[in-house]
Amino acid sequence: MNVLLIYPEFPDTFWSFKHALPFVRKQASAPPLGLITVAAMLPPSWDKRLVDVNVTRLKDKDLAWADCVFISGMTVQHASALQIIERCKAAGLTVIAGGPLFTMQPEDFELVDHFVLNEAELTLPEFLADLERGTPRHTYTSAEFADIQRTPTPLWELVDFKKYVSMPIQYSRGCPFNCDFCNVTALFGHKPRTKRVAQIIAELDSMYALGWRGDVFFVDDNLIGNRKHLKTRLLPALIEWRKDKAGLGFGTEASINLADDEELMQMMVAAGFGTVFIGIETPEEESLAECSKKQNLNRDLVADVKLIQRAGLEVQGGFILGFDSDTSSTFPRVVDFIQQSGIVTAMVGLLQAPTGTALYEKMKAAGRILENASGDNVDGTTNIIPKMNLDALRDGYKNVLASIYSPKAYYERVRTFLREYEPPKIKVQINFGFITENLHAFFRSIVRLGILGKERVEYWKLLLWTLIRKPRSFPLAVRFAIYGHHFRRVCELHVL
């Protein structure tokens, strides 16, 4: 059996980094962890090929080689998934689909032959057994949650490492919180389930043995959901594992209560974590209460962010506009919060209600659902009828993005962050590939941003300031300058 595993294209979004990738000569941020994990669950005798259309074209000869196609993706990849499925069916191939996009919106994909939904550890074995008997059903689902301590190591050998910026890895699934706009708990439950430490080390060993020396991102929706496991098992093991390794810095996602645990932050930094994405959502207490973001209530969120920054972690923040409690004063308050906190990478989107969330059900019951959510956090769309006038909401949203990603405000925010942050002093082996890649990015940034860019004055001011005040953070300042170019382009092309 020849199996083609296809990952649809991401549009130009906040997290695609399409306008930053050329600086480091890469084609995509990360490969599809779900598909290469599914590949490891398929019979070893099957021949497997991965086609990630974000880094390579889907060729006719790929389709001619294949006996069947496995496709997965997220909501934002909807349009590309439809096109790929149509092409595969035109080539006479059987299409098997799974992952978040198809689990939440199967009705949109009439041409799919077999849906293997929810967690593949539960539904894929049943499909494969039926396929072996010649009696595969159209849809396989499960209301249970998988034991991920049985999840195999992804087939990293299917991935062309040279085309990606980072590698994904997953330690846990599920989140203990109950934010009503988030579909994580609908997909994975409230109780965090963790892998064994030996599994994580085996996955890291596998990618390291194949030559990976770049960043690794823990895609857990809340890595600190089970703090006891993290502090007593995973982090000590990562600290030990990295002692003789070159490169491999880590990033992840967490909740704001990370700021309450100084020991945990210190351990994460010692283990190699440098960035953490946190859902701030809004500085408005009433709006936080409205969406059940209880973990963010009754806190000094700016002070919390700065605590995490001073511990040695860059905070990337998610923000939402369009809650029923929001008013015209919310827009400048969000801008002020982002500027004061020094959150350089600030993702600001309009409130969306994904299928399966408590918010979706609430809005549907009230007759306020317009369509399916786009899945793009920063495209200026919403699938609900907001309480605020829609034109006023969109205008306020555009003003927020224009403010925070104007060169002057953005570069000032970088300096605000660097004043708080001190790069961790962790001894690692010299990685010549990493050095070469970063030198190329630096020289390209000089031409594209420092000479040709509209932000050239702010660019040179930042680099000079960093050399004088924070010389150890110079590579980080260059990276932020490149990120800023991407964020501005996304805003200009798709929102402003």
Q: Does 127 have pLDDT greater than 60?
A: yes
Residues 480 and 370 grouped into a single domain: no
Residues 292 and 224 grouped into a single domain: yes
- Kindly report, residue by residue over 180-236, the tens digit of the pLDDT: 999 888 889 888 999 999 999 999 999 999 999 999 999 999 999 999 999 999 999
Give a yes or no: residue 55 inside a domain: yes
Q: What percent of the chain has pLDDT over 90?
A: 89
Residues 354 and 220 grouped into a single domain: yes
Residues 385 and 338 grouped into a single domain: yes
Q: Does 409 have pLDDT greater than 90?
A: yes
Q: Does 431 have pLDDT greater than 80?
A: no
Average pLDDT over residues 420-449: 79
Average pLDDT over residues 389-394: 95
Give a yes or no: residue 152 inside a domain: no
Give a yes or no: residue 216 inside a domain: yes
Average pLDDT over residues 101-129: 96
Q: What is the pLDDT, as a whole number, of residue 37?
A: 98
Q: What is the pLDDT, as a whole number, of residue 436?
A: 78
Domain total of the chain: 3
Give a yes or no: residue 269 inside a domain: yes
Domain ends where: 390, 420, 450? 420
Give a yes or no: residue 425 inside a domain: no
| Domain CATH code at residue 254 | 3.20.20.70
Q: What is the pLDDT, as a whole number, of residue 433?
A: 66
Domain ends where: 370, 397, 420? 420
Distance of CA 210 to the CA centre of its chain: 24
Whole-prediction pTM value? 0.95
Average pLDDT over residues 439-462: 95
Residues 69 and 40 grouped into a single domain: yes
| Domain CATH code at residue 42 | 3.40.50
Domain ends where: 420, 453, 475? 420
Rounded to the nearest integer, the mean pLDDT of the chain is: 94
Q: Does 13 have pLDDT greater than 70?
A: yes
Residues 174 and 321 grouped into a single domain: yes
Q: Does 385 have pLDDT greater than 90?
A: yes
Give a yes or no: residue 159 inside a domain: no
Q: What is the pLDDT, as a whole number, of residue 430?
A: 56
Q: Does 21 have pLDDT greater than 70?
A: yes
Residues 117 and 92 grouped into a single domain: yes
Residues 373 and 488 grouped into a single domain: no
Q: Does 380 have pLDDT greater than 90?
A: no
Query: Between 373 and 364, whose confidence is greater?
Result: 364
Q: Does 427 have pLDDT greater than 60?
A: no
Give a yes or no: residue 324 inside a domain: yes
Q: What is the pLDDT, as a whole number, of residue 422?
A: 84
pLDDT band at 379 (very low <50, low <70, confident <90, very high): confident
Residues 125 and 170 grouped into a single domain: no
Q: What is the pLDDT, as a whole number, of residue 193?
A: 95
Lowest mean pLDDT among 153-162, 282-291, 424-433: 424-433
User: Which domain covers residue 231, as residue numbers?
Assistant: 165-420
Q: What is the pLDDT, as a whole number, of residue 428?
A: 52
* Residues in the chain, total: 496
Give a yes or no: residue 156 inside a domain: no
Residues 210 and 111 grouped into a single domain: no
State the sign of the Cα–Cα–Cα–Cα dihedral 232, 237, 243, 249: negative
Q: What is the pLDDT, as a whole number, of residue 439?
A: 87
Residues 8 and 92 grouped into a single domain: yes
- Kindly report, residue by residue over 320-364, the tens digit of the pLDDT: 999 999 999 999 999 999 999 999 999 999 999 998 899 999 999
Q: Which of 416, 432, 197 is nearest to 310 (CA)?
A: 416
Structure tokens at 39: 């590949």
Residues 189 and 134 grouped into a single domain: no
pLDDT band at 423 (very low <50, low <70, confident <90, very high): confident
Q: What is the pLDDT, as a whole number, of residue 432?
A: 66
